[in-house]
Amino acid sequence: MSYTHIFAGNPLDRGDRERRDDELIKRMMRQDNVRILPFHELMPLIRRSARRNPHAELAWLSHEFLDDLPPEAGGPKFLGFDEDRNPHFAVDISVVEDPSQIAALAPGATFEDGRSAAADIPGDQTGILAQARSNLNWHSRHRYCSACGTESQSQRGGHMRQCPNCDAQHFPRTDPVAIMLVYRGDRCVMGQTVARSTTTFYSCLAGFMDQGESIEDGVRREVREESGLEVGKVTYHSSQPWPFPASLMIGCHAEAITEDIVVDDGEMSDVRWFTRDEVKLALEDRLEGVNIPGPIAIAHHLIKAWANGTANI
């Protein structure tokens, strides 16, 4: 079974050949069939309708509003082409103090938090939202060359920044995170991080991959650090882009070869074993005192696949 998670399955052709042609990018920005998605402080413009289903969608604009943007806005970043070859761009308008005039160009649209909007827009649009949000965030955080400190310039429609002083090329980053459901026999492990405000939220263990580490290495290290458990077999399940700001969640199942949990209390407030029956109740929101992630998160699907016996283990 293959999964297409929220934020995965972006249908756009990212146009690698076309984006290397600066003149073409500039021309496409002004075409009648261009679709431009503005973001204000990383919030996408979303149009909601009481009558449609799904009841929200990305609110694409034509190019006229670009003329009124101050140059500090940084210009649109090319996302790619849809199946009709309409070029799509995203633009960061955070420098505009009052974004409501731009929002008004799409009747009924407002700038919304990307995470909650993603639950209400069509699945293929969540992939575009992930690409756009991660890319605009990277440009806003990487304006200066990390080698010499000179202000760098966006190239290839936003796929790269180049330093005009030392010629260093900088590429948008994606940060891999290993997320795994640890199991042994008929039990699995879930934990809660100290950062969570509710004491009932349990989820898979997870952590950023380190440099010079395979996915399997990262899974085994994170599980050891957070729970004290040793892991043998690691199997891949599926992955999910998570654009807050630019993670790639790599979902795995990990078979524990030990049973005694030692909680790292700097990072986790609790880690414990759950039976399959408890997990099935939790998936139906019927396990008292325990809440687990909903379907927007890959953790939900890792838990569910193990509970239902459909995991590749």
Q: Where on the chain is the footprint of Zn ion (CB under 5 A)?
A: 145, 147-148, 150, 163, 165-166, 168
**C-beta closer to Zn ion: residue 101 or 146:** 146
**C-beta closer to Zn ion: residue 153 or 235:** 153
The least CB distance from residue 137 to Zn ion, in Å, is 21
The least CB distance from residue 168 to Zn ion, in Å, is 5
Query: What is the residue type of 17?
Result: R
* Both tokens assigned to 87: 């070029």
* Both tokens assigned to 133: 């949000």
**C-beta closer to Zn ion: residue 129 or 163:** 163
**C-beta closer to Zn ion: residue 145 or 231:** 145
The least CB distance from residue 170 to Zn ion, in Å, is 9
The least CB distance from residue 147 to Zn ion, in Å, is 4
193 contact partners, CB below 8 Å, separation of at least 6? 267, 268, 269
- Token match 């994606």: residue? 174
**C-beta closer to Zn ion: residue 161 or 301:** 161
Burial of 65 (0-12, 13-18, 19+ CB in 10 A): middle
| Cβ(69)–Cβ(91) below 8 Å | yes
- For 60, the 3-state DSSP assignment is coil
The least CB distance from residue 164 to Zn ion, in Å, is 8
* Both tokens assigned to 227: 């729970």
Neighbours of 259 (CB within 10 A): 12
